Amino acid sequence: AVAAVGGQTANLKLLLASKADPNNTTGSLQGMTPLFTACQLGDIRVEEVKVLLEAKANVNAVDMGQTALHVAAMKGQAQLCTVLVAYGANPMATNRNNQTPAQLAAALPAPLKDAVMAALGGPAQATPEESGG
């Protein structure tokens, strides 16, 4: 997890090449996966997030009641949202409060909200009830 959050892409690649588990939570802050931790830090970690996803990190893992996509959307990290969705993150997943990433992004200021909504698939995100979820 340290390499994932420390901007150490080369070290992260070495660890993963040595068969480090990209979903390991041992020794991490509050038992979070490296992917979740990297998403909390924002767009500056896009390269590390891509490396983790290419190493088969679980893009839909739930940490602290939400997914990495929830965290990225809530923080207005449109670039991370785009990457996560491209790797299979479920934009209709609900968090512990039954909110989708789009519902969390709705509270952001307009420029950030618009960018995140576009990254999630457009401004007209259905609610879980409307999509049968």
Q: Are the beta carbons of 66 and 40 closer than 8 angstroms?
A: no
Distance CA 113, CA 100 (A): 14
Rounded to the nearest 10 degrees, the angle between the axes of helix 110-119 and helix 78-86 is 10
pLDDT of res. 123: 61
Which of the 8 DSSP states describes residue 28? Answer: S
Per-residue confidence (pLDDT) for residue 49, from 0 to 100: 87
Which residue carries 């509050």 as its tokens? 30
Amino acid at 120: L
- Contact between 61 and 23 under an 8 Å Cβ cutoff? The reply is yes
CATH of segment(s) 2-119: 1.25.40.20
What is residue 92's predicted lDDT score, i.e. its pLDDT?
96
Q: Which amino acid belongs to residue 51? A: V
Strand partners, 66: 63
Can you give the pLDDT of all 133 residues of the chain as single tens digits? 444 445 567 777 777 777 777 667 665 566 677 777 777 776 567 888 888 899 899 999 998 889 999 999 999 999 999 999 999 999 999 999 999 999 999 999 999 999 999 999 876 444 444 444 4
Residue 23: C-alpha distances to residues 32, 43, 89 (Å): 9, 20, 15
The whole-model pTM stands at 0.74
Domain range summary for the chain, segments of one domain joined by +: 2-119
pLDDT of residue 26: 64
